[in-house]
Amino acid sequence: TARKTVADINRFYASSKPITVVTAHDFITAKMVDHAGIDICLIGDSLANTTLGLDDTNELEFQEMLYHVKSVQRGNDSSLIVADLPFGSYEKSSEQALDTAMTIIKHGKIQGVKVEGGDEFILPTVNRLTTVGIPVMGHVGLTPQKHNALGGYRLQGNSVENAVSIYKQCLDLQRAGVFSIVLECIPNKLAQYITENLSVPTIGIGAGPFTSGQVLVISDILGMKSNKENHKPKFVRAYEDFYTKGVEALTSYGEHVENAQFPDVDEHGYKIKRDVFEEFK
Ligand code: KIV
Ligand code: NA
């Protein structure tokens, strides 16, 4: 199958087909996302915490992100691939953001980027990126790169002022040319209102069912227990228990090696040729 494009995403949106988004962080996870037929594969900077074990998303370096982007790209032939621009790699100026986005697209061979926020500083940047033809995904509500300023990872849009601000950021981002907007951790009703009043798709995470699509982090979906606190947010559904299954498989392997049940002489072993054998007798 051909790789999905922004035009396909727009088509799904126009026909009310919910847009599916899952994160991936390497070749293997990207392949799973591909074969599951997911529309958009996001290389989220959450990989800092889930894959690299860092305490803070904001510790992620651009070069580390690029390394993961390349790995994901090699594993997925069918999803539209979008990468987060890491903290510090795009906020200084539109030029910095252009350099970063262009490097990711040239060297990572992916289609688009995601940037956080809808404030007066990010809007000209989004406009600049979309003007040169880079598909940009917006991200409002709980924006993890600002967790220190937000006072942690908590529900956003919980006051009239903040809810109105989030809605306004969406309108501004839409005007700046984003092809979709992630709504993270806001009340269902607010996400629904925003979705009904925008003309670009909304992608919810902790934003309820009334959005144009949904996104989850792959290690959460698969139950990989991949953050240090083993904390499962309310909005996550784990569809599998990969961590437990993985530990069980490795425990069995360890036991089999210790009591000589693995490897099997014939099933996993290679026979020596007669003349070679004679040499070693
Ligand atoms: O980093 C990430 O995984 C994300 C998604 C959860 C939207 O930004
Ligand atoms: Na992110």
Q: Which of 184, 196, 229, 279 is catalytic?
A: 184
Number of domains in the chain: 2
Residue, of 193 and 233, whose pLDDT is higher: 193
Which protein residues are within 6 Å of ligand 1, measured from CB? 23, 42, 44-46, 84, 182, 205, 215, 217
1 domain residue, yes or no: no
Q: Please list the residues that pair with 41 across neighbouring strands.
A: 22, 81
261 domain residue, yes or no: yes
List CB contacts of 114: < 8 A, sequence separation 6 or more: 42, 44, 82, 83, 84, 85, 136, 137, 138, 139, 182
Look over the chain and give the mean of its residue pLDDT values, rounded to a whole number.
97
Show the domain range for 259. Answer: 245-279
Reported as a pLDDT band with limits 50, 70 and 90, residue 231 is confident
For 53-66, what is the mean pLDDT? Answer: 96
Domain co-membership, 142 together with 78: yes
Domain co-membership, 55 together with 105: yes
The pick from 217, 218, 222 for probing ligand 1's pocket by mutation, whose C-beta has the most ligand atoms within 8 angstroms, reads 217
Query: What distance lies between CA 228 and its chain's CA centroid?
Result: 18
User: 99-116: per-residue pLDDT in tens?
Assistant: 999 999 999 999 999 999
List CB contacts of 256: < 8 A, sequence separation 6 or more: 262
Which of 59, 73, 75 minimizes the C-alpha distance to 105?
73
**pTM, 2 dp:** 0.96
142 domain residue, yes or no: yes
> Is residue 216 a contact partner of residue 240, using CB atoms and an 8 Å limit?
no
For 247-269, what is the mean pLDDT? Answer: 98
Domain co-membership, 235 together with 252: no
List CB contacts of 61: < 8 A, sequence separation 6 or more: 86
Domain co-membership, 207 together with 254: no
Domain co-membership, 124 together with 179: yes
For 72-96, what is the mean pLDDT? Answer: 98
Indicate which CATH number applies to the domain containing 129.
Answer: 3.20.20.60
Percent of the chain with pLDDT over 90: 95
Q: What is the dihedral of CA 250, 254, 257, 261, to 10 degrees?
A: -70
